A = this chain, B = another copy of it.
Amino acid sequence: MLCFENDYSEGAHEAVLKRLLETNMEQLPGYGTDRYSESAKEKIRSVCGCPDADIYFLSGGTQTNQTVISSVLDTHEGVIAAQTGHIATHEAGAIEWTGHKVLMLPQKEGKISPGDLAEYLASFYSDENYGHMVFPGMVYISHPTEYGTLYTVKELSELSSVCREYRIPLYLDGARLGYALAARGTDVTLRDVAKYCDVFYIGGTKVGALCGEAVVFPGADTPAHFMTKIKQRGALLAKGRLIGVQFDALFTDDLYLTIGRNAIETADALKEVFREKGYEFYINSPTNQIFVVLENDRMERLKEEVIFSFWERKDETHTVVRFATSWATNMEDVEKLAALL
Contact = CB atoms under 8 A, between A and B. Distances in A.
Interface string A90-109: 11111011111110000000
Interface stretch (A131-139, A247-255, A272-280): A131-139
The CB with the most chain B CB atoms within 10 A, among A3, A10, A14, A328, is that of A10
Nearest to A231: B92
A284 interface: no
A341 interface: no
B234 A75 contact: no
A11 B30 contact: no
The CB with the most chain B CB atoms within 10 A, among A128, A233, A328, is that of A233
A89 interface: yes
A257 B76 CA distance: 36
Contacts of A234: 60, 62-67, 94, 233-235
Copies in the complex: 4
A223 B97 CA distance: 17
Contacts of A210: 20, 210, 239, 242
Contacts of A317: none
Nearest to A2: B27
A121 interface: no
A223 to B, nearest CB: 8
The CB with the most chain B CB atoms within 10 A, among A26, A71, A100, A229, is that of A229
Contacts of A340: none
Contact of A62 (B92, B135, B231): B231
A8 interface: yes
Interface residues of A, number: 85
Interface in A40-60: 59-60
Given A11-B239, A233-B94, A234-B66, A313 B126 contact: yes
28 contacts: A8-B30, A10-B24, A10-B27, A11-B26, A17-B21, A20-B210, A60-B237, A62-B234, A66-B233, A74-B225, A75-B97, A76-B92, A76-B224, A76-B228, A89-B133, A93-B99, A93-B100, A94-B234, A96-B134, A129-B310, A131-B231, A134-B232, A206-B238, A211-B237, A211-B238, A211-B242, A233-B234, A234-B234
Given A76-B232, A92-B231, 20 more contacts: A5-B30, A8-B239, A9-B28, A11-B23, A27-B307, A59-B237, A60-B236, A66-B234, A75-B232, A78-B96, A93-B100, A93-B232, A94-B231, A94-B232, A94-B233, A96-B99, A97-B99, A133-B228, A134-B232, A210-B239
